[in-house]
Amino acid sequence: MIDELAIELVPLGRDLVEAAPELMNQVFVYSTLHFALKYNENHVVEVDVIAEDEVEFVHGRQKEFSLSYSVTWYESDKPTEHRLNRYIERDRLKANELRTHWLSVINAAAAAVLLFMLLLSIFGRTVNRDFARYSASVDVEDLEHDELMVEEDERGWRIVKSDVFRFPQYKELFCAVVGTGAQVL
């Protein structure tokens, strides 16, 4: 970062995967960096870095080399207000590469809707079956029989109702744990 300007990424060595796959076992390091700084009045408006002089490293051998750099200052007519335009345009080009993958978004939304519909149909069938069972078993004549009422209590939503309104075994401990934020775990 020089005067709030990001320097382009300068590789430490050559990218051998793109340059030559047959050289994958070799390592090259740039030993010289040239910084070209353009300024207008008291502000740096542009920075360029040029890497030169590759030094080859061979695995298992020690190699000594020197690192050097040079800085060259150039006067520029570019106004300070426009010094970030270069980076904005570069980022705009990268943003075009990172387009939204609409097929993936539509696929995920369709899967979520189908899953919701499947769960809705399962719950709907369960509720309809329980309502049908309750309405078929409760008649005026059947109310006289206590056995039927006991059997009805053992099915469906009434079991859930009794579990929901039942206090936990250690309610003080439960309140303390939930109240202190253990629900985040």
Q: Check residue 66 and give its pLDDT.
A: 84
Q: Check residue 61 and give its pLDDT.
A: 73
Inside any domain, residue 173: no
Phi, psi of 135 (to 5 degrees): -70, -30
Phi, psi of 91 (to 5 degrees): -65, -35
Inside any domain, residue 24: yes
Beta strand spans in 3-131 (E): 27-40, 43-57, 68-75
Range of the domain at 131: 102-165
Q: Check residue 140 and give its pLDDT.
A: 47
Inside any domain, residue 69: yes
Does the pTM exceed 0.75? no
77 and 34 in a common domain: yes
The tens digit of pLDDT for each residue in 37-86 reads: 888 888 888 888 888 888 877 766 777 878 888 999 999 888 888 777 77
106 and 92 in a common domain: no
Inside any domain, residue 126: yes
Domain boundary among 97, 116, 131: 97
110 and 58 in a common domain: no
72 and 34 in a common domain: yes
Q: How many domains does the chain have?
A: 2
46 and 66 in a common domain: yes
Per-residue pLDDT 10s for the chain (185 aa) are 555 555 655 555 555 555 555 666 667 778 888 888 888 888 888 888 888 888 877 766 777 878 888 999 999 888 888 777 777 776 666 666 666 677 888 999 999 999 999 999 999 998 888 777 777 765 545 555 545 555 554 556 666 666 777 788 888 888 888 877 666 55
Inside any domain, residue 185: no
Q: Within 13 Å, how many C-alpha atoms sit on residue 48's CB side?
A: 8
